[in-house]
Amino acid sequence: MTSAFEASGNTLWDPVTLEVFRNLFYSVAEEMGVTLCRTSFSPNIKERRDYSCAIFDGDGHMVAQGEHMPVHLGSMPLSVEAAIEHTTMRPGDMVAVNDPFCGGTHLPDITVVEAVYLESDVEPTFYVANRAHHSDVGGMTPGSMPLSRSIYQEGIRIPPVRIIKEGQVDSDLMALILANVRTPTEREGDLTAQVASNRTGTRRLHAIAGKYGVDVVVDYMHHLQAYAERMTREAIRLIPDGVFKFEDCLDDDGQGNGPLPVVVTLTIDGDEARIDFTGSAPQVDGSVNAIYAITLSAVMYCFRVIVPFAIPSNYGTLQPLEIIAPEGCLLNALPPAAVAGGNVETSQRIVDAVLGALSQAIPGGIPAASSGTMNNLTLGGTDPRTGEAFAYYETIAGGMGARPQADGLDATHTHMTNSLNTPIEALEHAYPFLVRRYEIRRGSGGAGKFRGGDGIRREVELLCPGQVTILSDRRLTPPYGLEGGSPGKTGRNVLTEGGVEREIPSKASVWVQPHTTISVRTPGGGGYGTAPPDEPGDSE
């Protein structure tokens, strides 16, 4: 693999100009995100902002990303590489892909890629891409986050194919996609928003090249990648050499298999790190399998957050890292594995394991475990107000782990998720739901010198018959504390139907009658340091 140093061309660069271009590229990715947010149809994208945007060089290597979803951004380069490898993109073309085994992550995440030709129509100078989580892409349950046993049960698979040809939507391909989903109008609107997002990025890159010249833009693109690599190597060099091992686990796969160990051996050698997941669970029947792009993304995130300098996140960040995940294991699953939950749940456990190993390498420098789950909730049925199908998806926040010098934050999306909450008003307006309870789950954070953040209690009543599916974790194994801190409390899922309350497991899918309430009570973060006496208990 070519180092960003080797690709940086002219070694002479001006630090002020470097900062200017860093912010220019970042602003392009951010403006792409604004376009996607404002023009999308679904609350999941418009309100929760479950999307990501980024810019890539002509080889498909990341240059800049917006402050969007970490689980998307580290894995998106493989989607861009797949689009380049499997298609020919001329000016005005865009490629869509969601196939996890050909550049995607899980099927609800559809990535749209466009080649940007600045000087000629011979070779693209850049690629722009965005990824959005669609609330339904077909499959065996509404919301397309099922308790599946194979990829074929999870929805429509889209290999890298041109959805836009010479500036026009391929109506045949669009019709094929829309015929395989429960909410075609919403899906078409969100896909069109993704197209608009890329067009915004392309226009802005043309404007930047027109102002500074293509050669200067390309030079500083490579300088930024080389700078990120240098700074990441410097951060690794500050860690003592050694071998550090840590093990955590997922509760189960929803199909009776568990616990599922995630084992990491971290080797620090000078300015390089090897992250080896040998010994982790083999791929399983259920949908918590992660493909390699997810593992790559989670590791990239961990090393990005330990860099004590303000640097861009791009291709250079990955260069000092060797990431090993044996084929056929939980963290590098092979087809036809079910993978809907790997993107959301297993990615969080990879982070917990890698940060756990880093806590041994950098004592006093790593926080305790956060909630460790995205608490994925999907609700689907037929809206009695319109007679049309609906499918709603959301992730629910939990507690942040306590930090070495401060308490953890309450009720926040942590690590591989960076989404917002869906406002109650938007949720009740768009769907036949009532939000009956939405509050901080007091006392769910772990005790310690610094307390873990508290989770959330969110209760939603369905006003019509429907199907409730939940993919969650940390219901059996709590988020760990560090340096004597107590673990956070595990989460709970409770269904109340006909006045009868019953606990449901971390991964479940059930048909319910009108006026059934689903209560999701999310884990708190782990505590840090020895606990003082008289800590408060859980408010439940």
Position 261 in a domain = no
Residue 257: how many other CB atoms lie within 10 Å: 15
Residues near 425 by Cβ (< 8 Å), separated by ≥ 6? none
Segment holding 261, helix H or strand E: strand 260-269
Query: 8 phi and psi, to 5 degrees?
Result: -80, 0
d(CA 29, CA 224): 15
Name the average pLDDT for the chain.
93
Contact 300, 74 (CB under 8 A): yes
**Residue 71: pLDDT over 90:** no
Predicted confidence (pLDDT) per residue in 443-490, tens digit: 999 999 999 999 999 999 999 999 999 999 999 999 999 999 999 999
* Residue 333, in any domain of the structure: no
Domain count, the chain: 2
Amino acid making up residue 471: L
Q: How many CB atoms lie within 10 A of CB 225?
A: 26
Which residue among 229, 259, 289 closes a domain?
229
Mean pLDDT of 79-100: 95
How distant, in Å, are the alpha carbons of 205, 445, 524 from that of 538?
A: 52, 8, 10
Question: How far lies 489's CA from each of 118, 445, 522, in Å?
Answer: 53, 6, 9
Tokens linked to 522: 């999310």
Question: Residue 283 falls within a domain, yes or no?
Answer: no
Contact in structure between 460 and 434 (CB atoms under 8 Å): yes
Geometric angle at alpha carbon 40, from 34 and 45, rounded to 5°: 80
Indicate whether 256 belongs to any domain. Answer: no
pLDDT score of 538 more than 60: no
pLDDT digits (tens, 9 = 90+) for 136-176: 999 999 999 999 999 999 999 999 999 999 999 999 999 99
The residue whose two tokens read 């160990």 is 261
260: left (phi over 0), alpha (psi -120 to 50) or beta: beta
Looking at residue 304, its amino acid is R
Domain that holds residue 506: 367-540
For 385, the token pair is 């107000």
With cut-offs at 50, 70 and 90, classify the pLDDT of residue 103: confident
Q: Which pLDDT score is estimated for 73?
A: 66
Closest of 79, 143, 135, 88 to residue 111, by C-alpha: 79
Share of the chain above pLDDT 70, in %: 95
Burial-class residue 88 by CB neighbours within 10 Å (0-12, 13-18, 19+): exposed
pLDDT band at 107 (very low <50, low <70, confident <90, very high): very high
Contact indicator for 111, 128 with CB cutoff of 8 Å: no
Tokens of 362: 């950098």
Does the residue 143 lie in any domain? yes
Q: Cα(481)–Cα(10) distance, rounded to whole angstroms?
A: 47
The HSE-up count of residue 93 (CA atoms within 13 Å, CB side) is 16
User: Treating both helix axes as pointing N-terminal to C-terminal, what angle do 15-39 and 184-212 enclose, rounded to 10 degrees?
Assistant: 160
pLDDT of residue 72: 66
Q: What values do phi and psi take at 331, rounded to 5?
A: -105, 5
Is residue 338's pLDDT more than 60?
yes
Quick one: how many helices (H) and strands (E) in the chain? 12, 20
**178 domain-assigned:** yes
d(CA 134, CA 110) in angstroms, rounded, equals 7
Q: If we measure between CA atoms, which residue out of 408, 236, 263, 261 comes closest to residue 325? A: 263
Going from the C-alpha of 512 to that of each of 226, 496, 499, the distances in angstroms are 54, 10, 13
Distance CA 508, CA 501 (A): 15
> Is residue 312 assigned to a domain?
no
Confidence band (pLDDT; 50, 70, 90) for 120? confident
- Report yes or no: 110 and 395 within 8 Å, Cβ to Cβ: no
For tokens 């194919």, what's the residue? 161
Q: What pLDDT is attached to residue 449?
A: 97
What pLDDT shows up at residue 1? Answer: 46
**Could you report the per-residue pLDDT of 209-249, keeping only the tens digit for each?**
999 999 999 999 999 999 999 999 999 999 999 999 999 99
Query: Is residue 372 in a domain?
Result: yes
Question: Tokens standing for 319?
Answer: 């260069």
- Return the half-sphere exposure (C-beta side, CA atoms, 13 A cut-off) of residue 88: 3
Report the sign of the C-alpha dihedral through residues 457, 458, 462, 465, in that order. Answer: negative
Distance of CA 135 to the CA centre of its chain: 15
Q: How far apart are CA 231 and CA 18, in angstroms?
A: 14
What are 4-63's pLDDT values in tens digits? 544 455 567 899 999 999 999 999 999 999 999 999 999 989 988 889 999 999 999 999
Residue 117: other Cβ atoms inside 10 A = 18
- Among the candidates 165, 198, 229, a domain finishes at 229
DSSP state of 368: P
Answer with the one of 199, 229, 259 that is the final residue of a domain. Answer: 229
